[in-house]
Every structure is written in structure tokens, then in C-alpha cells.
Amino acid sequence: MRIITGIAAALGLATIIGSASLAQAEIQERTIKFAAQNSKGHPQVTGMERFAELVSEKSGGKIEVKLFPGGTLGGDVQTLASIQGGTVEMSVMNAGILSGTVKEFGVVDLPFLFGTPEEADAVMDGEIGTGLMDRLPEQRLVGLGFWELGFRHLTNNSRAVESVEDVKGLKIRTVQSAVPLATFNALGANAVPLPYPELYSALETGTVDGQENPLSNIVNAKFTEVQKYLTLTGHQYNPQIVLVSKVFWDKLDPEEQALLQAAATEARDYQRKVSRDSNAGFLDEIKKTDMAVVELSPEKLDAFRKAVEPVVAEFRETIGAETVDAVLAQLKSLRQ
């Protein structure tokens, strides 16, 4: 009995070792270009670095992920086209930018949609986020999950924004996406869509008066050097989507695809923690500069919410009523 058991155990171990060797054999030498807009030191890039480490570990060094942060391969719209064409393998960007490709992604751009990062996690990691990513392959894209950029706030060079009235007339750069443009136009601003790599220069030269970004971007891109006022509006939360070119994805074996998915999910949890842990530090860093920080009262913040309510109604059908209603229903359930 013991001899039989020992033989069975040996055979089982041999099978495991053989399977592991076979799986390793399926992984080929590959190089992945991974592009993003933010610079080294930003939580987004920290997540990319962790992803690259995980891919190297899991592939036994066979797959190398080369990082191209700081918009070196172009703005988000240009990078997205490169991914669809297969000249760039991966990127991470605001999920709402995909609304020009898959209209339902516009739901994440709706103003004051998420109240906390945890609400966003529940929506984006669940059926709704999965359903959005399921629409990507027919657009030559594959989604590996959602990372975090954080809540967006308003900066400008003209005046302290302490009310909705103070926004009127300001030239504000927004992401190249329809909902953010409509949001700031609804607040009375002159919304100007610009690629992120062009933003610092536009602020420095006065091409635009201000911009809206999370605190991490404001620090990382050194907007504190070219902006005088920060207002903590928290008007939008940005889930970031990790994208892979389907042209590249279809060349991978199932083992390689599973490896990249596992690395992206593990890096997601790491990246979110880094982003959230560092948020308070970014605000402290801004307060040490010459930038004036305005913290709105609940009443004044509510006035901002009311001013942009028509945007939700305007885009409900454009985005897709079913998608918008599903997100709002899940958020209502989470808050009860």
C-alpha cells in the first residue's frame, strides 16, 4: 500500500512539474511597450512599474515590459489609436476617454457620480465594469481592469473660486471627452479640450486660465508652478483602465494572456493603495507652495452639484440609459 501510494505521489509530482514546464514553454520572449501620460513618481506610473515587475517574475524574465510615461508616445487620443493599430501594446488612461470609441464608457465621466473610491471599486470591479470591457474587443482593444487616478479638483490663475459664480468666464482645460466639456460649460466656464502633454505650456503661456485634475497630477506635473488657486471641488472621480492592443493580445497563448491578466489585477490592488495612501501627502505638499487652497462648504459644494445636474440628464440617452440607470441603481444600493 505504501509503495503504491509513493508511486502515485511521485507520478502526481511529475505531472505537476511537467505541467509547469509546459506552461513555461508556452511563454515566448516578448517586449511590451506600456505608455501613460503621467511622469515617474506618480501613483499611476508606480502601478505600471509594479506590473512590469510582476510580468517579469511570472514569465521567468521572458516578457519585458518597457515603460513610456510622461506622454512620450503622444497624448491619450494618439496613444489609443496606436494601441488599436498595434504599434503600442499597452496603456493606462482615464476610462472616460473611451467614450468616443464605446459610448457607454461616458458614464464614468458624469459629474459627482462616485462619493468614495470604494463606491467606484464596487461598480468598476463588478458586472458593470466587466460589461463595459466586454464591448472593447470589437474596437481592437482589450481591458484588463481599472486602476485609480482619484477625484479631480479645479485650479486657475485668475481668482479664488469660492462659488459657481467664480467659475464663469474662465478658460478651463478639460480631458478630450464630451462629458467633462459639457460639465465645465454648464458651470459657465469656457471649456478647452487639450492633450495632457500640452497642458503645462498652455497654463504657463495663458492659453488657458486653469485646469482640473487630481491632486497627484497637480503635484507630479508641477502645476503648482503655473497656477495660483486650487479649489477642492472633487467634481469627478477617474477610474483608469488598463488597455491592451487586441492585435497584440491575439498573438498571445492562453497562458500568456492569463499571466498578463493576473499581473494587472495584482498591480491594481497595489496601485490603488499607493494612490490613496499618498493623497493626503499631495495636499500637504500643495499647501507648502504659493498656491492658495479653497475648501468649499457643504452648501457651496451642493451648488456645484445642482449646476451640473442638467449634464446627467443631457447625456443619459447619449451614453445609454440602461448603463446610466444601472450605475445609479448600484450606487443607491451601496449607500443604503
The per-residue pLDDT for range 225-282, each reduced to its tens digit, is 999 999 999 999 999 999 999 999 999 999 999 999 999 999 999 999 999 999 889 9
For 279, other C-beta atoms within 10 Å of its C-beta total: 18
Report the chain's mean pLDDT, rounded to a whole number: 92
Reference 243, options 98, 64, 68, 43; nearest CA is 98
For 186, the grid coordinates are 454648464
Average pLDDT over residues 111-121: 96
Query: CA-CA distances (angstroms) from residue 165 to 86, 136, 160?
Result: 46, 40, 11
CA distance linking residue 113 with residue 273, whole number of Å? 21
* d(C-alpha 260, C-alpha 196), whole Å: 27
pLDDT for 113 beyond 90:
yes
- How far is the C-alpha of 16 from the C-alpha of 20, rounded, in Å? 6
d(CA 173, CA 196): 9
Please name each of the domains of the chain with its CATH number: 28-335 (3.40.190.170)
43 within 8 A of 148, measured Cβ to Cβ: yes
Tell which residue, 223, 240, 243, has the closest CA to residue 275.
240
Are 311 and 110 within 8 A, CB to CB? yes
**Helix or strand or coil: residue 312?**
helix
User: What sections of 199-297 are H helices per DSSP?
Assistant: 199-205, 215-220, 246-249, 254-287
Helix/strand/coil for 185: helix
What proportions of the chain, in percent to the nearest 5, are helix, strand and coil? 55, 20, 25
* pTM flag (> 0.75): yes
Tens-digit pLDDT profile for residues 20-70: 444 555 799 999 999 999 999 999 999 999 999 999 999 999 999 999 999
